[in-house]
Amino acid sequence: MKLFSFPAAALEKAIHKRVLTLPPMHREWFTERWQQKPYKKSFVENKAMPLVTLIAKGKTWDDATFAEAMQEWDVTFYEAEAEVLRPLVQRDGLLQLMQKNLPAERAQALLDRLNTRRPAAVSAAPASAPATD
């Protein structure tokens, strides 16, 4: 049973609108993948829709239920994906009414989850960065 049903078409429209404002590097990366139907479906079902559900339900769930839902949402994000989804948590556009009573610590937990990077992206970063001792 679904606890929350948000129209996927409205979410896709919000994502598309956000893509237009991305920096060129992220826009190019995300647009290339977004045009592929399997990626688009996977992104909406596994990353965007669970985020919307956590926002909508996160303001009424108790701490244990919210923590359990966050634990079950086992995903990592590419930087461009996080840039697309971050405004959904930061009271921008589509979800403003849903976000209204979301506790700040839960919003921060969602933003922290968006900063979870794929291992390949993390391992590539130190190689290009100068070593600091």
Q: Is the pLDDT of residue 132 over 50?
A: no
Q: So what's the pLDDT on residue 100? A: 60
**Percent of the chain topping pLDDT 90:** 14
Mean predicted lDDT score pLDDT of the chain = 77
The pair of three-digit structure tokens given for residue 26, joined into one six-digit string: 């992220």
Cα separation, 3 vs 47, whole angstroms: 16
Q: So what's the pLDDT on residue 118? A: 61
Among left, alpha and beta (phi > 0; psi -120 to 50; other), residue 118 is: beta
User: Which residues is 77 bridged to in the sheet?
Assistant: 117
Which of 10-14, 57-61, 80-84 is predicted most confidently?
Answer: 80-84
Cβ burial of 88 (10 Å; 0-12, 13-18, 19+) is: buried
**pLDDT tens across 13-51, in order?**
888 888 888 899 999 999 999 999 999 999 998 998 888
Domain ranges within the chain, ordered by starting residue: 8-119
Helices within the chain (DSSP H only): 8-19, 24-34, 37-43, 49-58, 63-72, 79-89, 96-99, 104-114, 119-128
Q: Is the pLDDT of residue 103 over 80?
A: no
